[in-house]
Amino acid sequence: MDSVFSARGGAGAIPIWFVTAQTYPDVRKLIGADACAFADAAAFEPKPGRHLLLPGKNGLGGVLFGLEGADDTKDLFLPGRLPQHLPDGVYRFANEPHDARLAALAFALGTYRFARYRKVEARKLSLDLPQSLDRDDLGRTVEAVILARDLINTPANDMGPAELEAAAQKLAAQHGAACKSIVGDDLLAQNFPLIHAVGRAGAQAPRLIDLTWGDAGNHPRITLVGKGVCFDTGGLDIKPESSMLNMKKDMGGAATALALAHMIMARGLKVRLRVLIPAVENAISASSFRPRDIYTSRKGITVEISNTDAEGRLVLADALALADEDKPDLIADFATLTGAARVALGPDVPPFFTDDDALADELTASAARENDPLWRLPLWRPYEAMLESKVADINNVGGSQGGAITAALFMRRFVTATSWLHVDVFAWTASARPGRPEGGECQAARALYALLCARYG
């Protein structure tokens, strides 16, 4: 997708006027009598999401778009609805929306279409950015979100572990990073037994993708871990049809990690970056791992399998143990991990878990600034009792209650670093909203990117 941001400097760009009930009278003084008469004839009202195309001497003369009033709850991505209504052309913001940067980002993200499998008419729609905005940073953010959406939207027949590895290799080549993988039985030889156990039944061999970038000297070390379950049948504890339908998105954590990595590398942040992706398919065959199996993890912790559909935390456990061995300054993992997270907070607000209070405060603030919502849930240690096993060090599930918390507590056992962050993403938009078309979605990456820029930019 070409950049939606124009570099024309405003010449000839069609003005978009943002209006509220309070500001509409002032805007009417600026758009001219003919435009006001047309708006009145069209019975335009300055309500949130309403729009009107204004005629001009040579075609389209401008656009009115309604926003929330000063006292209303604001959707800062509401301008992302504009691309649905505008004809091709170059546009500019004629006045200030509630947040010009987020409005521009939402506009760009609202132009996204997944066109790999059917012909979609190409749009020639662009936005001439205000001079106050960082065009390069907005551009790399849009590229990252599109990368994540494309990966998540691609079905498992074209996005298995090998194709996910190829996507990581392509990103690494783009930024001069190194990328290697441990594949198949080599996982056993190099002590990644949980990744191997989960993925060995798949048609494609399981693998651990390892991307590294940046100066290994004095720069802070940041390690991102993304769950790369390219399709999840649930294993022998097979999912029902309704739960399996969207399991192509179960590699959404990996897509999120790669999207964040793109932003970090494209900006050239002064960090040593590592991305670890355990890429598997949780399939069903004679070699599937079974309920009540017990495996010794990379960290030496023995794990009893009570549910093969709790596979994401297993592959992450080995990857987190490897990440922890480097003692990085921050470990952040992203995973489409639990339905319990959706029950607690719904599809739009991923929960995050950390013992680092300063990190939690920074992330909460950056999530609010970026309109990339996150909510902290507790690593409630008394719930560790739910993970007890009578025959192993730990069980891979913790019962029917508090599932997002017990999943996070399970993974916490494999990390010694204090600055560890776990985000339970949904990675999907079930019905289109401004700036967020239906389908795969990149959650949490923009918030953490803003935090890292504030720390290391």
Q: Which residues are catalytic?
A: 239, 313
Count Cα neighbours of 311 within 13 Å in the Cβ-side half-sphere: 37
Side by side, the strands of the sheet bearing 394-395 are: 294-296, 302-304, 394-395
Element (H, E) at 352: strand 351-353
Distance CA 95, CA 97 (A): 7
Closest CA to 351 of 405, 313, 314: 405
Query: 413: closest CA among 402, 398, 391?
Result: 398
Four-point Cα dihedral 277, 282, 285, 288, nearest 10: 80
User: How far is it, in rounded angstroms, from Cα 86 to Cα 97?
Assistant: 17
- CA-closest candidate to residue 39, choices 49, 57, 59, 25: 25
Residues whose CB falls within 8 Å of the CB of residue 208, separated by 6 or more in sequence, listed in order: 181, 182, 187, 192, 195, 276, 277, 278, 279, 318, 319, 322
Helix (H, G, I), strand (E, B) or coil at 103: helix
With beta carbons less than 8 A apart as the criterion, state whether 280 and 269 touch. no
Residues pairing with 274 in the sheet: 212, 223
Q: Name residue 128's beta-bridge partners.
A: 6, 92
Of 59, 54, 26, nearest in space to 41 by CA:
54
* Dist CA 166 CA 161 (whole Å): 9
Cα distance from N-terminal residue to C-terminal residue, the chain: 27
CB 164 within 8 A of CB 209: yes
Residue whose C-alpha is closest to residue 374's, from 405, 343, 404, 353: 353
